[in-house]
Chains A and B, each alone.
Chain A
Amino acid sequence: MTTVKPGYVRPIDFKHGQVDMTHGGGGRAMAQLIEELFLSAFDNEWLRQMNDQASFTLPHGNGAPGRMVMATDSHVVSPLFFPGGDIGCLSVHGTINDVAMAGAQPLYLAASFILEEGFPLADLKRIVDSMAHAAREAGVPVVTGDTKVVERGSGDGVFITTTGVGVVPDGVQVSGDRARPGDTVLVSGTMGDHGVAVMSFRENLEFETAVRSDTAALHGLVAAMVEAVPEIRCLRDPTRGGLATTLNELARQSGVGMRIRERDVPVLPGVAAACEFLGLDPLYVANEGKLVAICAPEDAERLLAVMRAHPLGRDAAAIGEVIEDTHRFVQMETAFGGSRVVDWLTGEQLPRIC
């Protein structure tokens, strides 16, 4: 018997309400805005899949490969430069990763810049050089772009939007709605590095840490993974809202629950310590070079081995299982020996983290 109350959500008040920071926090408020506004306005079969990218078949007769993938990502991170990266390489990695999480090979990028009047050109050059370097390193060129300038005070230095396209290898069908009870949940490495690195450079909060952002393009790792296990069910990069939010998204999309083990979730000691004194939970802190993978239990060992053999998956770990649960709860066995829910992020934990 269940006494849990149905997940009622008060509808958004479009008449009197205003956008607040939680609408961009990656948590439940953002999910609600997407569902009640964007999804309902743009409604189509691709958007309805609720993935971080759209996967579609090109019209026949042009000799194009099977399925293409398209993703876009805006970057508003503050500060613009942080340990281990900057908004430039972040904007390249972010979109490459969104494309790659369909199991796809990213091919081309487009970049749009919104610049604020007065922004130092030296900083802009540094950012663009970093983007160019990241794109070259990833082998995914920036092939088109756009530049706009707004008056001083109407932006915060620079905002960058990147869009990417890629192709899905034949036989690969990765989507957030394919997790099944019994499946294994894996992560590619330590959780929370990016968020803590950015926070450590925030004005008002500067603290010394050896933690660097994990920002990286994951398509190489993904290519190795789908080659070894083409039947991978779900891939997603746990950015805003962290691992907790990503697992909740996948649980909701697939209509399942999950049970993870706290002791198996890799977290760097420096990240754990920073979270401790900032009052944060590493499970909710953003990553920019990590992924969550869900596969059938019989594939888990092979997939884990392939991940660990790749430089970006050295610390990969199996952290739990998909379970049957009509409430779609993500539960966690705590290292202490108890159990608890790992809920959606409420509000915003760290604003403007990517």
Chain B
Amino acid sequence: MKYVDEFRDGALARTIAAKVACAVEPGRSYNFMEFCGGHTHAISRYGVIDLLPQNVRMVHGPGCPVCVLPIGRIDNAIELASRPEVILCTYADTMRVPASGYLSLMKAKAHGMDVRMVYSAADALRIARQNPARTVVFFAIGFETTTPPTALAILQADREGLANFLVFCNHVLTPAAIANILESPQVRGIGTVPLDGFVGPAHVSCVIGSQPYEYFAEEYGKPVVIAGFEPLDVMQAVLMLVRQVNDGRAEVENEFTRAVTREGNTRAKELVAEVFELRRSFEWRGLGEVPYSALRIKPKYARFDAERRFGIEYRSVPDNKACECGTILRGAKEPRDCKVFGTVCTPESPLGSCMVSSEGACAAYYTYGRFRDASGLQRQNARERPAPRVSAPLAHREATSDASSASGAPR
């Protein structure tokens, strides 16, 4: 597959692995949080961990849109879907997120509620046009990547005078979540969660640009490398982060220059600014209430706002006591540290949201990585792990060609 396979090339991966192995200083540990679920997925699916030295540890962050949705918001969505006139349109992953009372949108559908899976906000618009007698509610979730399409759908509905299209807005903001993690006592004060740098979001950064991360690099002294979602992107970003840490630098670097600029997508940002405004506060699963971390629909477009139309009230619902999603989302624990991981909480019957989406830390580990436990290849017991499979002659021979230049990705 052209323009994709180049970024999954095994030979190039070994080259970068060799460089990372050369770059890391023995006796020093490198803890990098990949904020995005897209990176978590790539790391697990392609087995990137196997190519990294044992003193480089990847910490999974909260950047999975499904994982951070609190139970109360799913309850709200089910409440909306239970109205006989409503068709609730939602992205597939959201269907299985557990709600109160052992419900989920999938089960609500089996109970007879009209819940439909869509690939985009535009699909929901089309369903609204086709069903003028029904009220179509689009369950809008996600970070800055999915927000512009929702804005566009609202503007389109406005132009068409489509009165039966509503949006239940749950869009959240990446920088607010990163700030929350960096401000958390575990990271800032107690230092129980060592974080030496961030692999910055790929698609989110296409929209917001690299500029918003400059504050984190400056204020918190943490390097950020924005990286694409392909496994070679992740490898290259790790190399760049290791170099920054070694040099004592804390800068925003951009590995994903094929798509991300400093300013981002100004047209998309304008669309979002036209339709949405900041919420004073929003509850995130795992992070709790985070001020100014989410968006709501502006009064100007209130007629498309499902919350206003139906007077939806948010009620916070505590997570299951045994569920460690919150701690895992903050990087303070790993999936296997959770007592219910792989026992009562599995992708089939998830207890926590991290087990739902393939981008969630628990689901990614369960689906792709649990043989590591079986064969004793735990990161905690890193010393027992075999060295990365890099043959020295190959590493030496190819060490002159960078993955990014060879694959056409400018640095």
- Chain A interfacial positions (CB closer than 8 Å to B): 1-10, 18-22, 28-29, 32, 204-205, 263, 269, 272-273, 276, 325, 327, 329, 331, 334-341, 343, 346-347
Question: Are A334 and B367 in contact, with the CB atoms below 8 A?
Answer: no
Residues from chain A with Cβ under 8 Å of B264 in the complex: none
B51 on interface, CB distance cutoff 8 Å: yes
Residues from 1 to 18 in B contacting A, C-beta threshold 8 Å: 1, 4, 8-10, 13-14, 17
Question: Are B368 and A4 in contact, with the CB atoms below 8 A?
Answer: no
Q: C-beta contact mask, B368-411 vs A, less than 8 Å → 1, else 0?
A: 11110111101000000000010000000000000000000000
Question: A1 vs B381: C-alpha distance in the bound complex, in angstroms?
Answer: 12
Question: Are A273 and B1 in contact, with the CB atoms below 8 A?
Answer: yes
Question: Are B366 and A343 in contact, with the CB atoms below 8 A?
Answer: yes
Question: Are B10 and A341 in contact, with the CB atoms below 8 A?
Answer: no
Chain A to chain B: the 6 pairs with minimum beta-carbon distance, closest first: A338-B47, A338-B50, A346-B347, A340-B368, A336-B46, A5-B342
Shortest Cβ gap from B389 to chain A (Å): 7
Shortest Cβ gap from A319 to chain B (Å): 17
- Of residues A6, A263, A276, A338, which shows the largest number of chain B Cβ atoms within 10 Å of its Cβ? A338
B349 on interface, CB distance cutoff 8 Å: yes
B334 on interface, CB distance cutoff 8 Å: no
Question: A115 vs B231: C-alpha distance in the bound complex, in angstroms?
Answer: 49
**Which of A9, A205, A337, A347 touches B10 (beta carbons < 8 Å)?**
A337
Please give me the residue from chain A that is nearest to B363 by CB atom.
A346
> In the complex where A8-B343, A276-B4 touch, is A336 in contact with B348 (Cβ < 8 A)?
no
Residues from chain B with Cβ under 8 Å of A10 in the complex: 344, 346, 348-349
Interface of A is mostly: loop
Please give me the residue from chain B that is nearest to A278 by CB atom.
B119
- The number of A-B residue pairs with CB atoms under 8 Å apart is 124
Question: A7 vs B376: C-alpha distance in the bound complex, in angstroms?
Answer: 17
Residues from chain A with Cβ under 8 Å of B378 in the complex: 3
Interface of B is mostly: helix
Question: Are A346 and B367 in contact, with the CB atoms below 8 A?
Answer: yes
**Which of A5, A7, A327 touches B371 (beta carbons < 8 Å)?**
A327
Please give me the residue from chain A that is nearest to B120 by CB atom.
A204
Question: Are A3 and B13 in contact, with the CB atoms below 8 A?
Answer: no
Residues from chain A with Cβ under 8 Å of B45 in the complex: 334, 340
> In the complex where A276-B1, A335-B8, A337-B50 touch, is A28 in contact with B348 (Cβ < 8 A)?
yes
Question: Are A337 and B342 in contact, with the CB atoms below 8 A?
Answer: no
Residues from chain A with Cβ under 8 Å of B20 in the complex: none
Q: C-beta contact mask, B263-281 vs A, less than 8 Å → 1, else 0?
A: 0000000000000000000
**Which of B14, B50, B231, B344 touches A339 (beta carbons < 8 Å)?**
B50
What would 7 A/B residue contacts be, using CB atoms closer than 8 Å? A4-B342, A28-B347, A269-B1, A331-B371, A338-B48, A341-B369, A346-B367
Question: Are B348 and A334 in contact, with the CB atoms below 8 A?
Answer: no
Residues from chain A with Cβ under 8 Å of B106 in the complex: 20-22, 347
Shortest Cβ gap from A280 to chain B (Å): 11
Residues from chain A with Cβ under 8 Å of B133 in the complex: none
B49 on interface, CB distance cutoff 8 Å: yes
> In the complex where A2-B374, A22-B106 touch, is A337 in contact with B123 (Cβ < 8 A)?
no
Residues from chain A with Cβ under 8 Å of B347 in the complex: 28, 343, 346-347
Question: A273 vs B347: C-alpha distance in the bound complex, in angstroms?
Answer: 26
B96 on interface, CB distance cutoff 8 Å: yes
Please give me the residue from chain A that is nearest to B109 by CB atom.
A20
Residues from 35 to 54 in B contacting A, C-beta threshold 8 Å: 44-51
Residues from chain A with Cβ under 8 Å of B190 in the complex: none
Residues from chain A with Cβ under 8 Å of B369 in the complex: 340-341
Shortest Cβ gap from B338 to chain A (Å): 10
Question: Are A9 and B346 in contact, with the CB atoms below 8 A?
Answer: yes
Known: A21-B110, A341-B367, A347-B95. 16 other contacts (CB 8 A): A2-B376, A4-B374, A8-B342, A8-B346, A10-B346, A19-B110, A21-B106, A273-B1, A276-B4, A334-B45, A334-B47, A335-B10, A336-B13, A337-B10, A340-B45, A340-B47
Question: A155 vs B111: C-alpha distance in the bound complex, in angstroms?
Answer: 18
Question: Are B373 and A336 in contact, with the CB atoms below 8 A?
Answer: no
Shortest Cβ gap from B38 to chain A (Å): 11
> In the complex where A19-B110, A28-B348, A338-B50 touch, is A343 in contact with B367 (Cβ < 8 A)?
yes
Question: Are A336 and B343 in contact, with the CB atoms below 8 A?
Answer: no
Question: Are B370 and A336 in contact, with the CB atoms below 8 A?
Answer: no
Residues from chain B with Cβ under 8 Å of A205 in the complex: 119
Shortest Cβ gap from A35 to chain B (Å): 13
Question: A204 vs B122: C-alpha distance in the bound complex, in angstroms?
Answer: 10
- Of residues B46, B47, B50, B370, which shows the largest number of chain A Cβ atoms within 10 Å of its Cβ? B47
Question: A263 vs B371: C-alpha distance in the bound complex, in angstroms?
Answer: 20
B341 on interface, CB distance cutoff 8 Å: yes
Shortest Cβ gap from B392 to chain A (Å): 16
Residues from chain B with Cβ under 8 Å of A7 in the complex: 342
Shortest Cβ gap from A88 to chain B (Å): 28
Question: A6 vs B110: C-alpha distance in the bound complex, in angstroms?
Answer: 30
Question: A6 vs B370: C-alpha distance in the bound complex, in angstroms?
Answer: 11
Shortest Cβ gap from A86 to chain B (Å): 25
Residues from chain A with Cβ under 8 Å of B123 in the complex: 204
Shortest Cβ gap from A263 to chain B (Å): 8
> In the complex where A18-B110, A22-B106 touch, is A2 in contact with B50 (Cβ < 8 A)?
no
Residues from chain A with Cβ under 8 Å of B363 in the complex: 346
Question: Are B348 and A9 in contact, with the CB atoms below 8 A?
Answer: yes
Residues from chain B with Cβ under 8 Å of A8 in the complex: 342-344, 346
Residues from chain A with Cβ under 8 Å of B4 in the complex: 272-273, 276
Question: Are A341 and B371 in contact, with the CB atoms below 8 A?
Answer: yes
Shortest Cβ gap from A352 to chain B (Å): 13
